[in-house]
Chain A
């Protein structure tokens, strides 16, 4: 089955710096890659996703890149702000009709003022 590895487990940056979180997946049939942000005690919130027919997607300060050949995808956050502090989870899915996500283990991002 699919296996998703996520690095780093923790990431500390200064406000205004960029942050990059990387994930690798094992199943070459995976075709959907969402990223979730989870603040302390809250539900995971979908922040951006990418499908295997594109290599990059951007939404304001966040972007996701996908390298299908290497089977890895990354989340990029520019101009970080303290409110970006949270745990970020990547995931991968192989089906379009039924979406069974396999999650990474999470990255705790701390943005210091």
Chain B
């Protein structure tokens, strides 16, 4: 069965520091991958998605970037964090065929920028 991992689970970073969040998927190949952010008490905002290695699409212009160096690895980065970057970051995956069509979320990383 498929499993999605994210780390770290929680992170406290000062303003202006860099960021690297990692997401990996097991049990499937060539998945679609997604990064979402959820501010406290709010909905889900799609940040980036990827249909394959090196293929990244950005939904919201901001100081974040994403990369997909391997088929089942998705990384969210920032060179300098802002206070507004605080939130719950969720990675998700979906398949490319009707059999694995649904989108499933990882456990998330709770980021607090101080």
Contact = CB atoms under 8 A, between A and B. Distances in A.
Interface string B87-114: 0001000101010011111111010000
Contact of A43 (B32, B46, B96, B107): B107
A45 B104 CA distance: 7
A46 B106 contact: no
A45 B94 CA distance: 13
Given A34-B102, A44-B105, A46-B102, A104 B32 contact: no
Contacts of A44: 44, 90, 105
B42 to A, nearest CB: 8
A57 interface: no
Interface residues of B, number: 20
A106 B42 CA distance: 8
A43 B103 contact: no
A53 to B, nearest CB: 11
B102 A49 contact: yes
A99 interface: yes
A43 B102 contact: no
A1 to B, nearest CB: 10
B105 A103 contact: no
Interface residues on A, range: 20 to 34
A34 B105 CA distance: 13
A103 B43 contact: yes
A46 B100 CA distance: 13
A97 to B, nearest CB: 6
25 contacts: A32-B101, A34-B103, A36-B105, A41-B110, A43-B106, A44-B44, A45-B105, A46-B102, A46-B103, A89-B43, A89-B44, A96-B98, A97-B96, A98-B49, A98-B96, A99-B32, A99-B94, A99-B101, A99-B103, A100-B46, A100-B49, A105-B42, A105-B43, A106-B42, A106-B43
Interface of B: 32, 42-44, 46, 49, 51, 90, 94, 96, 98, 101-108, 110
Interface of A: 32, 34, 36, 41-46, 49, 89, 96-101, 103-106
